[in-house]
Structure 1
Amino acid sequence: MKNRIFALFLSLVVVSACAAPEQEQLVTFPQATIQLADVKRAVQLADTPQLRERGLMFQQSADAGMLLLYPEPRLISLWMRNTDLALDVAFIDPQWRVMVIKQLHPLDETPVSAPSAALAALEMPRGWFAEHNIQAGDKLTLLR
């Protein structure tokens, strides 16, 4: 009887693990220092395919911000899968200038795209760009 109960318990554990949604795993991002217009600050840096794919998913706060940096300019589209945060994103052109700032809505899987090839995307808490008077045309410098 004990063996049957153990086998039943073990099979339930295996089935629930297989059926579980994508699990939150601790991911550590390197830090980078940026200057955007007159604002200098540290942000999380996503500069590999794995880190860019993970982005701010499962994080509880966007206060640190995140710079998604690509090795060369490309068309960038972002979505908010597993991201329950209200964000703004600034798409950065190949000359390191803000092309456009767009809103990203919590858990919305609708792609939000840069208007043309971008080198980076800077995700910040909703309203951060407006609070700091950041707008299209402002220059971003990666200080590391």
Structure 2
Amino acid sequence: MNYFRNKIKFFIITAFLFSAVMTVFASCGEKKLRTVDISITKADGSVVMVNSEVAETDEQRQKGFMERKNIPDGTGMIFVFDADQILYFWMKNTPTALSIAYIDSSGIIRDIFDMEPFSLASVESTVSVRYALEVPKSWFKKNGIKPGDKISLNF
């Protein structure tokens, strides 16, 4: 009887330790993106700031805001590409409504679109651009940011 109790205790302790180790390893694999403060200069000269995570690798760009349920107001994610190109974004596995600004290599916002959660519809830039900035839906509108406004490129 004592033998079986010891076996059960050993099994429970081993399962607990295995679970703890796997949790640690899983969290180590998720690297936090670096953040930058991006200033957006509007046509009237006023400046609006947004604290943005920087997605600059293929893996980071592919993941984006997927699985994120809360994106605080005043925050976003800037997607940095190596060359100007027509960009396509979608909302697969993204539960939070977003707005996206497509930005050319000189920092000028060329397009702003709203995107719906989990949509597989492709949202395409109208011209070749270098960057995309995602923020909570309607954040650009609430802050009076429009195509033609300029972002700082110091990231």
TM-score bracket, normalised by the shorter chain, equals 0.7 to 0.9
Equivalences for residues 94-113 of structure 1 within 5 A: 94-113=105-124
Equivalences for residues 1-144 of structure 1 within 5 A: 26-37=30-41, 38-63=47-72, 64-144=75-155
Higher-Rg member (1/2): 2
Distance 2:118 2:31 in 1: 19
Q: How far apart are 1:30 and its partner, in Å?
A: 1.1
Distance 2:135 2:90 in 1: 14
Distance 1:26 1:111 in 2: 27
Distance 1:27 1:76 in 2: 25
SS at the partner of 1:34? strand
Unaligned segments of structure 2, at least 5 residues = 1-28, 42-46
CA contact (8 A) 1:76 1:117 kept: yes
Q: Which 4+ residue blocks in structure 1 deviate beyond 3 angstroms?
A: none
SS at the partner of 1:43? strand
Q: TM-score, normalised by structure 2?
A: 0.73
Judging by fraction of residues, say which structure has more helix: 2
Q: Say how many residue pairs are matched.
A: 120
Q: TM-score, normalised by structure 1?
A: 0.78
C-alpha deviations, 1:28-53, integer Å up to 9, x for none?
A: 21112211121123211101111001
Distance 2:36 2:84 in 1: 19
Q: How far apart are 1:65 and its partner, in Å?
A: 0.8
SS at the partner of 2:59? helix
Distance 1:86 1:127 in 2: 9
Identity fraction in percent: 27
Q: How far apart are 1:27 and its partner, in Å?
A: 4.6
Amino acid at match of 2:133: L
Amino acid at match of 2:87: I
CA contact (8 A) 1:33 1:142 kept: no
Amino acid at match of 2:111: V
What is aligned with 2:7?
none
Distance 1:108 1:117 in 2: 23
CA contact (8 A) 1:79 1:108 kept: yes
CA RMSD of the aligned region, Å? 1.3
